Chain A
Amino acid sequence: ETGVTQSPTHLIKTRGQQVTLRCSSQSGHNTVSWYQQALGQGPQFIFQYYREEENGRGNFPPRFSGLQFPNYSSELNVNALELDDSALYLCASSLEAGANIQYFGAGTRLSVL
């Protein structure tokens, strides 16, 4: 076990709705990264948070946003859901920003109907 937990495990939403996914990082890790993994694909980097600030962003629109809290927990928010947002969303925690060794949670599977 990596010590990274995500909730919920599975979520079903309809197009246009908003969703919040949650992640609890490994204790002592001040950096969290979020990835989107479509079926049959590798994870795609969404963004990273370091000490509660966005530290880098992949090629995702602004309707993907995040928050990181002092207690090692974080959120991924997606507004105006689209069908293509259906995927496994993974969070990964690491000791420091820029750290390549990242520990992944089991993910939240989001289905958009």
Chain B
Amino acid sequence: QKEVEQDPGPLSVPEGAIVSLNCTYSNSAFQYFMWYRQYSRKGPELLMYTYSSGNKEDGRFTAQVDKSSKYISLFIRDSQPSDSATYLCAMSAGDSWGKLQFGAGTQVVVTP
């Protein structure tokens, strides 16, 4: 079993809809949670960064962390075709070296 599980999709939504993405994990030591966006042939771009449980909002993006359930989510409101990309969740235990553990990524397609 992988430490971080993420549905690979593809997830297809119409423009303007809410995109809902999630990851589950097994390592209770994870304390830092990130969402990256990766366009085709590009490197991952950091979207959201949260520590421990709770919600964080940034523009159209909302990240949620539920450590008791070992479950994290990312919501994208008012989705645009430019949001079409692969979304990767990543986690870290916050020890002395910043090893990030990634999910496999979910491909999102926003259709006009």
Residues of A within 8 A of B (CB): 2, 4, 6, 31, 33, 35, 40-45, 48, 50, 55-56, 58, 90, 94, 97-107, 109
Contact = CB atoms under 8 A, between A and B. Distances in A.
B97 to A, nearest CB: 4
Contacts of B49: 100-101
A74 B45 CA distance: 20
15 contacts: A2-B45, A6-B43, A35-B102, A42-B103, A42-B104, A45-B99, A94-B98, A97-B96, A98-B95, A98-B97, A100-B34, A100-B49, A104-B45, A107-B42, A109-B41
B100 to A, nearest CB: 6
Nearest to B93: A100
Given A2-B43, A101-B46, A103-B46, A43 B100 contact: yes
Closest 6 CB pairs of A and B: A42-B102, A56-B97, A104-B43, A100-B32, A100-B92, A106-B43
